[in-house]
Amino acid sequence: MDKNAKHKKHTDEKQDDVTVETTENVEEVAVAEEPDEYKTKYLRALADYQNFERRVREDRIATSKNAQAATLMRLLPFLDNLEQAEIFIQDKGLKMIKEQFYSVLKEMGLEEIEVAGKEYDPHLAEAIDIVEGDKDDYVVEVLRRGYMCGGKILRPAQVKVSKKIEKGS
């Protein structure tokens, strides 16, 4: 063998040794980092799954509340009719039925909006008429009751509002 070929072979062997050592070092580092990488991926997947469960739970609750509110809205005209009938028909049985029906609606989450004698709030009540009174913007009479469910207004009350009229000129 000539000297150049011998030197080249010796250099190639050294490079192969270096290459092998470098590859082994990279593999050791990769093997050392793999558990951390898998742990990170696992924690991310777990967090994503927990967020998904929370969103599904919130969606179910919201759907349930919307269905409940829709049902109550459909039943409110029956309650109004029973209240109107009670005005004209003084019957203990009718009063008992109305109170029982109202208690069932309250169990479902229905709440009456109390506005009588209070300052007028356009978010809770709809002013149907303005009448003369001692103070400005107070509810004098409730024409149709308003109701809420779970903090959301189902139907605003219809009211008469007072307006102070100056007498002088």
Residues 147 and 113: beta-carbon distance below 8 Å: yes
Whether residue 167 is predicted with pLDDT greater than 80 in this model: the reply is no
Q: Quick: pLDDT tens for 124-135.
A: 999 999 999 888
Q: Quick: pLDDT tens for 34-68.
A: 788 899 999 999 999 999 999 999 999 999 999 99
> Which amino acid, 81?
N
Long-range residue pairs from 104-107, CB within 8 A, at least 24 positions apart, any chain = 105/72, 105/75, 105/79
What local confidence, expressed as pLDDT, does residue 48 receive?
96
Q: How confident is the model at residue 166 (pLDDT cuts 50, 70, 90)?
A: confident
Q: Quick: pLDDT tens for 21-33.
A: 455 555 565 566 7
Decide: helix, strand or coil at residue 117: coil
What local confidence, expressed as pLDDT, does residue 27 receive?
59
The rounded distance, in Å, linking the Cα atoms of 81 and 85 is: 6
Non-local (6+) Cβ contacts of 166 within 8 A are none
What local confidence, expressed as pLDDT, does residue 35 receive?
81
The rounded distance, in Å, linking the Cα atoms of 30 and 19 is: 16
What local confidence, expressed as pLDDT, does residue 36 receive?
86
Per cent of the chain over pLDDT 90 is 67
Whether residue 145 is predicted with pLDDT greater than 60 in this model: the reply is yes
Q: How confident is the model at residue 2 (pLDDT cuts 50, 70, 90)?
A: low
**Average pLDDT of every residue of the chain:** 85
